[in-house]
Structure 1
Amino acid sequence: MLQAAVIFQSSMILQRGKCLAVWGTGNPGETIGVQIQGRTGQTVTEADGTWSVDLPPLDASVSEELIIKSDSHKIIFEQVAVGEVWVAGGQSNMEFLMRYEKHKKEEVKDCTDPDIRFYDVPEVCYDGQLEEFDYSRQGIWRKADPENLDYFSAVGYYFQKALKEKLNVPVGIIGCNWGGTASCSWMNPETVRKVGEPWMQEYETRTASMDMEEYWENQHGNQMNDKGNPLADVFGEFMMPRTPTEEELVEFFSHIKDNFEEYANILQPQAIPGSLYEHMLKSIVPYTIKGFLWYQGESDDVPGLNVLYKDMLSGLISDWRRLWGDEALPFLIVQLPGYDCWLMNTEENHYPIIRRCQEAVADSVEHTYLCSISDVGEEKDIHPKDKKTVGQRLALLARGHVYGEEILCDAPRAVSIKRNPDGVAVTFEHAEGGLEIKGGHLNALQIISEGTEQEYSVYTEGDQLIIRMGNPLEEGVSIKFAQTPWYQVNLYNKAGIPAVPFEFSL
């Protein structure tokens, strides 16, 4: 029987201006025809029942019909829009729902817009999971309105809203994310072995003494793997809307202690290298898209493994682009903001390592861009509630680097340092029109000599940050900006984008 891939539905958004991939299954040997906007394509179903058709590029539109015909059946998808389509990938901060977002109460009052639509890829990580639980709330193209807004990725929503306002075409987001997942879950396992062998070794060491047949027997049908209703997540409903107090955390965990410990101490199937690459990402390939948004890295901050993140993220980008057959697909990376600790965990994080890796990837991988949100982190919460700023900054990056607007869209970055009689001058790129310190006192700057922090004063002059020292600047001095786990940057360029962390040694 004729079927299109699950992501093809009424009310979907298709990518404009690029050859359009449409695929599905049917009876072997049947002729399949596809048409929309007067563009047509035809093929014959393969022996295994699969078929795929490429259509000529489409024009932007708010309402079309996509018709798929076989020798014996016809499918008509209605209210199909054509515009811009982006995949929003990562872990919980990309998954973070509009339901919990800081500005949601105000946003919902005027959110109705049929040209903003969201598709969430069902959270599955092993064969049979879709059939074991009720996934009727996922895998749906939703239009932005008060009824559906809760389900939208908050970062994705604000990105598409800002983009739509400038491009004046429909904008769709495909959410492909899962909280608490490391990059290895989103990669081809062969790539993990090539660029992050210790990640694979850790997995193999952990499973070497496990009875994997018994493990999978316990996983199938296990209610801990029921990810079908994102609004029924007890943990998310408690943690995401606000930052609980320590007393509230103690009370909450006292009621779920046994389940939480069981969940935390066993291998989660979504942590298996390649699991989400195989079961989530591949389910939407090769749906035609414009590019990727990526907000992830928290779960890669594992001592001894976090230094691999540059190679891991570079490998992931290559894997994703290879699946779509386009090495130039833009990849917009959110750099992790300042953060201290969460859930009463007092262990120091090593996010500065992850941030440097993210910056290095943006510098070394073509068509990859860094989004700075170093002013909106939260000291005691790994999930900053302000996702509006994140989405809008990503949209600004896309407008400048992908859609060709001549605008200042990148974060100011320190590129050189020079001694002067009173101290040093740090020169920034992406600082056209000058830098600004908001609030009078510059946050997050440390001048360290012989292990002791030195006093200083600062001011901006064009594209430079001038640092004056109370004492002559000696050799072996470190100039560190936002190199601690927690900070909140207040040094901006004229586009209102905060500076990227940096460090110099003199």
Structure 2
Amino acid sequence: MTFLLFLLATACCLSSLHALELSGLYADNMVLQAGRSLKIQGKSAPDETVQIEIDGNVFSGKAAANGCWMIELPPQAPGGPHVFKIAAASGSKIFHNVLFGEVWLASGQSNMNMALQHTDQADAEIRIAEDPDLRIFRVGLKTSATPVSDVHGRWVAATPETAKGVSAVAWYFAKELRQELKVPVGIITASHGGTAAESWMSAEALHSLPETAGSYAGLQKSIQALEQAPTNVDLDDSNWMEEGIPLENWNRQKRRIHWDYELHPVEYDGVIWARKEIELPADWAGQDLILSLGKIDDYETTFFNGTEIGKTTQHTLAVRVYEIPGALSKAGKNLLAVKTFKIGWGGLIGPDKVMFLQRKGSEDKVPVGGEWLFRAAKLEFKMISPRLPTRLYNGMIAPLRQYPIRGVIWYQGEANAQPENAKKYRNTFAALIEDWRRAFDQETMPFYYVQLAGFKTNLGNGWPLLREAQRRTLEIPNTGMASAFDIGDPKDIHPGNKREVGRRLALWPLVNEYGHNKIPSGPLLREIQVENGKVRIFFNYGQGLKSNDGQPLRHFEIADKNRVFHPATAEISGESLLVYSSQVSKPAVIRYAWKDYLDNLNFSNETDLPASPFIADIPEKEYSHALRRPLTMFPI
């Protein structure tokens, strides 16, 4: 049977020289989205007929004058395998072992990027990671100044070998869908660590939003800086550990950050020196000393007054501690010099409080943190920084636009969690979601994301504000949030329990897209009422509100108009809470779990899913806080 379907004569970016071309996502072992019409796009010779054949059914279209073509296929049932053929006079392609199923894109920063092999119970999970109907496509790291049209990679079926390096969150999400739906699942991963939301937005979205206007302006400055950035550096550094060398070409580093931030907007590998003059008391002269330099990334050689005192020869983030013989120490000025070998981020990362010189056998210390001089001796160009605004959207998301997907899962926010940026994140994140929905031509494309896990930071209100921005993003239709606050790690920004994160994310599409009878979330603030100086709170997903440990609910606080918060009592009353404090007669603000990390959260619903943290102002008479009410201001 032959169907003649329409062609959309739109601009396409594949750079065909009159040869048949498609995105690299179209390949052997691919999973195509089932149950909905599919717009298959490509490029060929101008004005020629293009045909797609699946199981004897032929779908035809004609290329436009610019060679672009798009053929719309009718919805296909889940299953396979199929042979997928595309033919034109200018060429043909045949893809084998093709499945129709559910296709999701997984993106974000390092917690999405974290490989299965580095997570809790990884060995046991990898051993059983054999599923021919779960397919993975990993988008490689690519930055670009402009949107690119093609992507390189390959679809692979899940095996212990292919699964171990895949995003753990994406893996457990896809596995949950496979178990629940019993249909093929394809997961496309496109993520990179340490990246802010602005890196994943188009230039148009960035430019249009007041909250990201600064990022757009910074992008223009970075473009100018790129023109002056060297491709490579190769200097003679044989005397850089000595006193008296010229220092006019050395730069100042005032705080402990990775070298990548200092070299921004270009990323290099190479050798970077750091040096600092230290003033020692007169009675330290001739004394044996202990030097603590804190953590250094990657490896280094350390010199004191021109003499090597220690080194590491392989990558480690261990705190460097070296002994300095008394013959090297002198009263007055002494010189510390560190030759760091940068593979990746690199740098003296401290923190300052563990950087000191100490007289051996004494508690006396002289700090060596603070400002250092640094200079690159050898640099080899790697790439334009992926942390520049738009660069990852252009290089890793734009080329996916031609491939039909069901929706997106997202784990990001840590890089936006400085307090001032966190206050803007609600609108920034909303713009990103709208940007991607426009790019994939799906006005209500499902977009499900993770609320930041617990982690002890030095960012004040930054992480609570970011979580609040994430909660308020639920105002956008067809979004959902999986809170990970309760499964964090106070000392590790990359907590290991990604199984539960993936499971919680999967609950949202199982309910919204696939009609399963489940509760997708823990309690989410819906409405607040004031009753005689007490605050009654109603929740979405408030079925079976409870204390997980049988103890009184913790971490509720109330403040009056002076915004001085006091611990509050929270009592469960059906599907609502009654919250009050004897110290606050006229509550003006209420908040829950307003910390970067808490290890004893106990408020959930009948599913044991945790309640989301929140903060809300309470007008004097009454306050109703509906999820879909537009909110842009953050009470602090």
Please indicate, yes or no, whether the TM-score normalized by the shorter chain is above 0.5. yes
1:461 aligns with 2:558: no
**Equivalent in the alignment of 2:510:** 399
Aligned to 1:244: none
Aligned to 1:66: 84
Q: Which structure has the larger Rg over C-alpha atoms?
A: 2
Summarize the alignment of residues 378-457 of structure 1 with structure 2, pairs less than 5 Å apart.
378-418=489-529, 424-438=535-549, 440=551, 442-447=553-558, 454=566, 457=569
2:591 maps to a residue whose letter is K
Q: Give the Å deviation of 1:393.
A: 0.7
Task: State the match for 2:235 in structure 1.
Answer: none
How far 1:156 moved relative to its partner? 0.9
Aligned mates of 1:220, 1:271 — CA distance in 2 = 8
| CA deviation after TM superposition for structure 1 residue 273, in Å | 2.1
The 1-side partners of 2:417 and 2:567 are apart by: 32
Cα distance in 1, alignment partners of residues 230 and 424 from structure 2: 29
Indicate the larger mover: 212-221 or 407-416.
212-221
**Corresponding residue SS for 1:142:** strand
Contact residue 117 and residue 126 of structure 2 kept, 8 A: no
Deviation for aligned residue 1:384: 1.5
Q: How many Å separate the matches in 1 of 2:496 and 2:67?
A: 46
Q: Judging changes above 3 Å, is the alpha-carbon distance between structure 1 residues 37 and 314 closer, same or farther for their aligned structure 2 residues?
A: farther
Distance change in 2, residues 1:467/1:323 (3 Å): closer
C-alpha contact 1:97 1:153 (8 A) present in aligned 2: yes
Residue matched to 1:337: 453
Residue 173 (1) aligns with residue 187 (2):
yes
Residues 302/436 of structure 1: CA separation in 2 closer, same or farther (3 Å cut): closer
Question: SS of the counterpart of 1:6?
Answer: coil
Match of 2:440 in 1: 324
- CA deviations 1:90-117 (Å, max 9, x no partner) are 1111111112121322212222111111
Structure with the bigger percentage of helix? 1
1:428 is displaced (CA, Å) by: 2.2
More deviation, 89-98/366-375: 366-375
Q: Is the contact made by 1:163 and 1:171 (CA closer than 8 Å) also made in structure 2?
A: yes
TM-aligned CA deviation for residue 458 of structure 1: 4.4
1:200 aligns with 2:232: no
Answer whether contact 1:435 1:463 (CA < 8 A) is retained: no
1:186, distance to aligned residue in structure 2 (A) = 1.3
Q: CA deviation at 1:22?
A: 2.4
After TM superposition, the structure 1 stretch with the greater mean CA deviation from structure 2, 216-225 or 140-149, is: 216-225
* Higher relative strand content: 2
1:418-465 Cα deviation digits (max 9, x unpaired): 566895543322112333333635443345577876565544332233
Which residue in the other structure is 2:590 paired with?
479
**Change beyond 3 A, Cα 1:35–1:491:** same
Residues 4/290 of structure 1: CA separation in 2 closer, same or farther (3 Å cut): same
| SS of corresponding position for 2:229 | helix
Task: Supply the distance in 2 between the matched residues of 1:45 and 1:59 (Cα, whole angstroms).
Answer: 27
- The equivalent residue for 1:183 is 197
Equivalent position of 2:112 in the other structure: 94
What letter corresponds to residue 216 of structure 2 in structure 1?
M
User: 280, 290, 315: which is aligned to 2:431?
Assistant: 315
Aligned pair partner of 2:477 in 360, 366, 373 = 366
Match of 1:353 among 459, 465, 473: 465
Within-5 A mapping of 1:264-303: 269-303=385-419
Match for 1:44: what amino acid?
Answer: K
- Tell me, what secondary structure is at the counterpart of 2:41? strand
Letter of the 1:165 partner, please give it: Q
The alpha carbon displacement at 1:224 in A equals 4.7
Distance 1:98 1:281 in 2: 22
> 1:197: Cα distance to partner?
0.7
- Report the alpha carbon displacement of residue 40 of structure 1 after superposing the two structures with TM: 2.8
CA offset at residue 184 of structure 1?
1.4
Structure 1 221/371 Cα, relative in aligned 2: closer, same or farther at 3 Å? closer
- How far has the Cα of 1:170 moved from its partner? 0.6
| Matches of 2:574 and 2:90, distance apart in 1 | 69
Once the two structures are superposed, the pairs formed by residues 8-87 of structure 1 within 5 Å of their partners are 8-71=26-89, 73-87=91-105
Q: CA deviation at 1:34?
A: 0.8
Structure 2 CA distance for partners of 1:302 and 1:502, relative to 1, 3 Å: closer
2:144 touches 2:395 (CA, 8 Å); kept in 1?
Answer: yes
How far residue 28 of structure 1 moved from its aligned partner, in angstroms, is 3.8
Equivalent pair of 1:340/1:348 in contact (CA under 8 Å): no
Q: Is the 8 A contact 1:40 1:55 kept in 2?
A: no
The answer to whether the 8 A contact 2:116-2:165 is kept is: yes
Structure 1 counterpart SS, 2:160? coil
Instruction: Work out the CA distance in 1 between the residues paired with 2:541 and 2:471.
Output: 15
Residue aligned with 1:426, SS: strand
Bigger mean CA offset, 212-221 vs 179-188: 212-221
- Supply the AA of the counterpart residue of 1:437: N
Mapped contact 1:18–1:288 kept (Cα < 8 A): no
| Matching residue within 163, 188, 191 for 1:149 | 163
In the alignment, the residues of structure 1 paired with residue 222 and residue 593 of structure 2 have an alpha-carbon distance, to the nearest angstrom, of: 35
Q: Which runs of 5+ in 1 are unaligned?
A: 131-135, 226-233, 237-246
Q: Report how far residue 504 of structure 1 moved.
A: 4.4
Q: Deviations over 1:214-233 (max 9, x none)?
A: 327459997659xxxxxxxx
Shift in Å, 1:16:
0.2
**Number of residue-to-residue matches in the alignment:** 474
Of 590, 606, 614, the residue aligned with 1:494 is 606
Distance in 1, matches of 2:396 and 2:167, equals 16
Q: Is the 8 A contact 1:103 1:388 kept in 2?
A: no
Distance (Å, rounded) in 2 between the aligned partners of 1:46 and 1:505: 57
The whole-number CA distance in structure 2 between the counterparts of 1:465 and 1:376 is: 24
1:250 corresponding residue in structure 2 = 319
Cα deviation for residue 176 of structure 1 reads 1.6
Q: Is the 8 A contact 1:448 1:478 kept in 2?
A: yes
The C-alpha deviation readout for 1:154-190, integer Å capped at 9, x for no partner, is 1111111111111110111111212111111111212
Q: Which residue does 2:362 correspond to in 1?
A: none
TM-score between both structures, scaled by the size of structure 2: 0.67
Determine the C-alpha separation between the residues in 2 that align with 1:127 and 1:44: 32
1-side partners of 2:557 and 2:65: how far apart? Answer: 66
> 1:383-423 CA distances to partner (integer Å, 9 max, x unpaired)?
12111111111111111122222321132023344566895
Tell me which of 174, 177, 200 is aligned to 1:163.
177
Moved more, 142-151 or 346-355: 346-355
* Percent identical: 29
Instruction: Give unpaired runs (5+ residues) of structure 2.
Output: 1-18, 233-263, 271-295, 299-315, 322-337, 350-373, 377-382, 619-636
| Pairwise CA RMSD | 3.5
SS for the counterpart of 2:218 is: helix
Deviation at 1:347, TM superposition (A): 4.6
Contact 1:187 1:277 in 2 (8 A): yes
DSSP 3-state at the match of 2:141:
coil
Aligned partner (choices 105, 120, 135) of residue 117 of structure 1: 135
- Asked if 2 retains the 8 angstrom alpha-carbon contact of 1:224 and 1:263, the reply is no
Asked if 1:126 is matched to 2:144, the reply is: yes
* Cα contact 1:199–1:305 (8 A) shared by 2: no
